[in-house]
Amino acid sequence: MTTTLSGFAASAFVASMIGAFAIAGPAQAQTAPASVKIGYAISKTGPYAGGASITTLPNYQVWVKDVNEAGGIMLGGKRVPVEVVEYDDRSNSEEAVKAIERLATQDKVDFILPPWGTGLNLAVGPTFNRLGYPQLAVTSVTDRAPELAKRWQNASFWLGTSAQISHALVDLLAKLRTEGKIGNKVAVVSVADQFGVELINAGRAALKKANFELVYDKTYPLGTQDMQPILTEAMRAAPDTFIAFSYPPDTMAITDQSRVLGFNPKVFFTGVGAAFPLYKQRFGANANGVMGIGGWNADAPALKAYLKRHTEVTGREPDRWASPITYASLQVLQQAIERVGKLDRAAVIKEIHNGTFKTIIGDVKLKDGLLQEVWAVGQWQDGEFYGLAPMNYAGARQAVTPKSAWKAQ
């Protein structure tokens, strides 16, 4: 039997890419269920809501719409629609764990999609593992990923590790230093969350190894919005490079308040949120030259089609980092289910870890439960957030340095 994943039904993407998504697999002799029940708990309120509402939830919605418009997931020789059960985890780990338990034991969903963010994915990991559900930990950045993928053999990690991101960033900074575009002084601030803690630890080590001078290093509490005191201190240190391992609300506040203060180092790098379309919308021309975590090959035809489809369905653009990877992970899940041919979670987990899949980000094959090629650094250039590093990736752009001065808004 040959099944076809129509990733972007009723769109130009189907016409151009449908051949690439043809998947061959053995037919399974079974009666297809009435629906495939998909559940998730997502941060609709609380400090993680900003990231979840831009990166994760829209892609869940686009994927479900695409699958159902194409007739559903192929099971037992026929296409079966997706049914959704969702909860608000309130950006709280206890609520997230309770919701995952409820989805599995009360709602009896067939598959559960992950929450947004490193902290929540690590919090619910043991529960996913105990209950035997595949965990596509797409928005989790942790150096524990290789260890956790071995411990939780149901889990996969898709955004790289803190060390990978830090090393790619520092490699880029070292290249700019060699070219005489920046000096040696670096200021770093980081959010006091699992994400920020791991990135600053990896970042310090990478900067030290590359012989950069860390002239300022400050951690701030999750939810902080008045960044002026720490930015003023960082500004006094006169760094060539400013790095913020920040979450979306902090990223916006840091950028806005840096502009007000006139803090304009040659390299200005912020964390989660820099790749969001909201960043470009909010800061306009001031976004140009800003670097941040993430990036993508904006010239790839499949990603151009994905950008168009996401915008058509949700009314807004995706982010240029985890959004396409989130959608790709769902394509992998669907293809794995269809290859197995039945709602056998253990078999689906095995296929996710061992198979090769056609997705909007290219061919995906996990290694030891981890996605191998992930953008670490991007930069806004003329209205698009291009990937800069790792510098050997297809579509990588040259960094624009120094960043231009802030403009009045």
Q: Answer yes or no: is pLDDT of 27 > 90.
A: no
Return the HEC string of the chain: CEEECCCCCCCHHHHHHHHHHEEECCCCCCCCCCCEEEEEEECCCCCCHHHHHHHHHHHHHHHHHHHHHCCCEEECCEEECEEEEEEECCCCHHHHHHHHHHHHHCCCCCEEECCCCHHHHHHHHHHHHHHCCCEEECCCCCCCHHHHHHHCCCEEECCCCHHHHHHHHHHHHHHHHHCCCCCCEEEEEEECCHHHHHHHHHHHHHHHHCCCEEEEEEEECCCCCCCHHHHHHHHHCCCCEEEEECCHHHHHHHHHHHHHHCCCCCEEEECCCCCCHHHHHHHHHHHCCCEEECCECCCCHHHHHHHHHHHHHHCCCCCCCHHHHHHHHHHHHHHHHHHHCCCCHHHHHHHHHHCCEEECCEEECCECCECCCCCCEEEEECCEEEEEECCCCCCCCCCCCCCCCCCCC
pLDDT of 1? 27
The model carries a pTM of 0.88
pLDDT, tens only, 286-345: 999 999 999 999 999 999 999 999 999 999 999 999 999 999 999 999 999 999 999 999
- Please report which confidence band the pLDDT of residue 21 belongs to, taking 50, 70 and 90 as the band edges: very low
Q: What percent of the chain has pLDDT over 90?
A: 90
Res. 5: pLDDT tops 50 = no
pLDDT band at 30 (very low <50, low <70, confident <90, very high): low
Q: How confident is the model at residue 14 (pLDDT cuts 50, 70, 90)?
A: very low
Given this model, what pLDDT does residue 76 score?
84
Least confident range from 35-39, 59-63, 159-163, 228-232: namely 159-163
Q: Is the pLDDT of residue 24 over 60?
A: no
Mean pLDDT of the chain: 92
User: Is the per-residue pLDDT at 123 higher than 50?
Assistant: yes
